[in-house]
Structure formats: C-alpha cells, structure tokens
Structure 1
Amino acid sequence: MMVLGRVSAPFGIKGWLKIQPFGDDPLSWAEMPEWWISPDADAPPEQWRATRQLACQQHGPGLIVQLEVSPDRNSAEALKGWFVGAPREAMPAPADDEYFWGDLIGMQVVNLAGESLGKVDSLLSTGAHDVLRIIDDESERLIPFVANYVIEVDAKDGYIRVDWQKDW
C-alpha cells in the first residue's frame, strides 16, 4: 500500500475531511474513485479499509474530500489522524522525472565521487521542497530533493546520485 497522506481534521459539518498530502500532486487523487484508509500507515494491505470517494477538491496546499465512510461531522472527527493510501496499481502513472516517495525509500545514495552516503530512510516535506533523509551506519544526512543536489534517480538499478560530499 502506498501512503498518500493523512487526515488532518474534519472540514465543515457534512463529513468532509481535510487531507495533508505526502507529495506534490494530490489533485491527481481525484481520479481515483476508491480510496483506502487506515489508522496505521504500516498496516498490511488487508487491514486498509476501501471507501468510495464522493468529491475531492484542492484547498490551500492540501485537499478536502468527502468519502462514503464519512457522512457527517462525528464520523469525520473519528478519522482524524488516519492515513490515506492506495495500491500501486490504482495510482495514476507518474510523469517522466517524477517519483512516488515510496519508490525512493530504500534506494542507495551515492555522491559524484562514487562514495556511498547510505540509503533513503524517509522523505520530509518542508513546504519549499522535499528532503531525503539518508541513513548509514555512522550518520544521518538530510539532502534537499532538488535538481541542484539530486543529479540522477535510477529507479531501475535502485540508486540516487547526488552532488553532496560525504563529510557535509
């Protein structure tokens, strides 16, 4: 299951939900007629609950959505903090040079000198841009996921080449 975002709050009195997206094109989710929700982002796929999407629109940097499972304010409040996800096959295909966060997790990161910096443990959204959190045996590095530093993402071979020194 690919985790797409999180329910941050109810919105209004008719069961709408405010969604904090974990990515930069959440409006593309409006194409998915069915969404999956779970209180645990790491839950196995069979523990995610499928629900039909009734309406979806952009609201500031996030989304507001009306799901079949949330017909009123009380049910919306009960879903606060739940995660929104989808099976990979339900996701719209990413454009060239776009990646799902989940695809980057676990990739080996190497610098221009060929030195290993570790593996991508997670990504952070700072508002200005996303940041790769790289972990190795000795340290943690935070590298902005922007063209100035990320030179190449090779999804086929599972590595990311960055312009970043090992001692930074």
Structure 2
Amino acid sequence: MIGKVTKAHGLKGLLRVYSYARSEEAFQGSPTVFLSKEEWENAREFHVISVAAYKNGVLLALEGISSIEMAEHLKGAEVLIEKSSIVRADDEYFWHELTGLKVFLNTGEYLGDVSGIISEKGNDIYLVRNGDREWPIPATHEVVREIDLESGTMIICPLEGMLDLNEV
C-alpha cells in the first residue's frame, strides 16, 4: 500500500491521494495501481494516466475515472502497487522490513526492538521499545548507522541527550 484516496480533486475525476511514499516517483514506477475498499470483494486494477505531486501527496488520474462523481466513490480506497514496481534507493526500506529489528547502540549495547514507525515531513521516526520503555529514534543517516535485514539488526549512534538509559 502506497497511499489512500482522500478526496476528489476538480471536476474531471482526479484523485487526491495521501502518499505513504516519500515522493510521487513511487506511483510513477507502475503503469497500473490497484484500489481496494472494505466493501469490495477484490481490489480493482486501474491504468495510470498521470501522477503529479500535490501538497503531502499526489494527484492521480486513472483511466476510466472521468468525473467528480466517479472519483468521490473512490474516497477512502487504499492505493496499492505491485512490490516489484516500486523504485527505491539502496537506503530505503519498507516499514514491514524494519518492524521487529533488534536495535543496538554503536557501543554494542542492546536498546530494544523497532515496534513502530511514525511518518513525519522531514524524516520518519522509529519507535524502539524495550519492556515498558520506548524511545523515538530519528531515521537519519546521522543517527541510524547500519540496517542489516539479513541479521535483523539496526545500529544507531544516538545524539547527545537523545537517550537517557538511566532515567526511569
């Protein structure tokens, strides 16, 4: 899932989509998208006519959706693409790949597991949990030094004062 239809845009069937991806390029890598709604038995496939960046998402034009009425019917639909269509850099990961990783400090000390991810405008925030403790870790190159999906680990170098491991 790379986004969610939030509303119709204009009169000619454009869809305003909140994007879970960093840029509209994720939508441009696929000639088709699938829309899924709870009330539908199966996701429906649509040919992508155009994609344009718009605020914190994209404007999506789909073949067969040519009026505001048709577009409004798709409000709330999840936008999916085939995983093989996603264009990503070497340092980009799917959220499901990161959730559950064991997080270690650069000193070798175990901090906790990635329990969730918050998407922010500047960068994502990894939530690292150990028992009742949880730390927000900015997903920046300065802090996150290594991600090894094969071994299921993440190495971080926290900024001064970011973690107070002695605080209860």
TM-score scaled by length of structure 1: 0.81
The correspondence of residues 17-56 of structure 1 with structure 2, limited to 5 A, is 17-39=15-37, 47-56=42-51
- What residue number does 1:12 align with? 10
Q: 1:27 to 1:108 in 2, by over 3 A?
A: same
Q: 1:63 to 1:121 in 2, by over 3 A?
A: same
Answer with 61-70 or 16-25: which moved more: 61-70
Q: 1:120 to 1:74 in 2, by over 3 A?
A: farther
Q: 1:132 and 2:126 equivalent? A: yes
CA offsets, 1:109-132, max 9 Å, x none? 222233333322332222122111
Aligned residues between the structures: 160
Tell me which amino acid in the other structure corresponds to 2:32. E
TM-score scaled by length of structure 2: 0.81
Of 45, 51, 59, 1:64 maps to: 59
CA offsets, 1:124-144, max 9 Å, x none? 222122111223432332211
The correspondence of residues 136-147 of structure 1 with structure 2, limited to 5 A, is 136-147=130-141
- What residue number does 2:142 align with? 148
Q: 1:31 to 1:163 in 2, by over 3 A?
A: same
How far has the Cα of 1:69 moved from its partner?
5.2
Rg: which structure is higher? 2
Any stretches of 5+ residues in structure 1 without a counterpart? Answer: 41-45
How far has the Cα of 1:35 moved from its partner?
0.6
CA contact (8 A) 1:30 1:57 kept: no
Please give the root-mean-square deviation of Cα atoms over the aligned residues, in Å: 2.3
Q: CA–CA distance in 2 between the matches of 1:117 and 1:69?
A: 50
How far has the Cα of 1:145 moved from its partner?
0.5
Any stretches of 5+ residues in structure 2 without a counterpart? Answer: none
CA contact (8 A) 1:36 1:86 kept: yes
How far has the Cα of 1:4 moved from its partner?
0.9
The correspondence of residues 72-87 of structure 1 with structure 2, limited to 5 A, is 72-87=67-82
- What residue number does 2:90 align with? 96
Percent identity of equivalent pairs:
27
- What residue number does 1:43 align with? none
CA contact (8 A) 1:6 1:20 kept: yes
**4+ long deviations beyond 3 Å:** none
